[in-house]
Amino acid sequence: MNGISKGLGKVEVAVKWDPSPMGEPATDLDLVAATYLAAEPSGTPSYVVHFDRRSPDGTITLNRDSRDGKGFGWDEVMTLEFNRLDARYGRVVVGVVIQQRDTKRTFAHVHNPGLRIREGYTDLAVSDFQDVRDATAATVGDFVRDGSGGWEFRPGLLGFADTDLMAFTRTMGSTAGPEGS
């Protein structure tokens, strides 16, 4: 990034998976974004965006939410508008969690999962979750505000075992991030 770059602007995070075979319970993956103050980049999230929600200022929106993977193309899509996010925020962690209903499910149990993170037509990251196949949730990347105020993306999968949605939202930003932010 050069001195005149403003960093990332509008980013789309998308997840897809195939429906469960007939007779098996539906698999439900959820995109989650946790926003952290610049002063506390690994503390408690200021707010969390997940199913059927958007951030208080409208800069992070879950545009598409699937409970069974039966959508066309990308089943869950979240838009993050970093060019509009208030300067007091310094980090946004994005993750994917598998809803644990009747039985424990890991990414190994999800049929043909996929992840795409992109800005415009440029893919920033893609994954099939094979690196975290034994996890029930995973962070898929960190977005961090740099010294000039622009946003940069730090890709990387970090798996979390035996966690549900609420526990994941409390711990997903507790680490320094995939590249040690």
Q: pLDDT tens across 1-24, in order?
A: 334 457 999 999 999 999 888 888
pLDDT at 177: 43
Cα four-point dihedral sign 166, 42, 36, 29? negative
102 lies in some domain = yes
Instruction: Answer yes or no: is 110 within a domain.
Output: yes
Phi-psi region of 58 (alpha: psi -120 to 50; beta: other; left: phi over 0): left
CB 36 within 8 A of CB 168: no
Indicate whether 37 belongs to any domain.
yes
Would you say residue 3 lies in a domain? Answer: no
CATH of the domain at 29: 2.60.60.30
What's the pLDDT score for residue 70?
A: 82
107 within some domain: yes
Which residues in the chain land under pLDDT 70? 1-5, 52, 175-181
Count of domains in the chain? 1
Predicted confidence at residue 5, as pLDDT, reads 53
Residue 97 belongs to a domain: yes
pLDDT for the residue numbered 4: 47
- Does 161 reside within a domain? yes
Are 98 and 29 spatial neighbours (Cβ–Cβ below 8 Å)?
yes
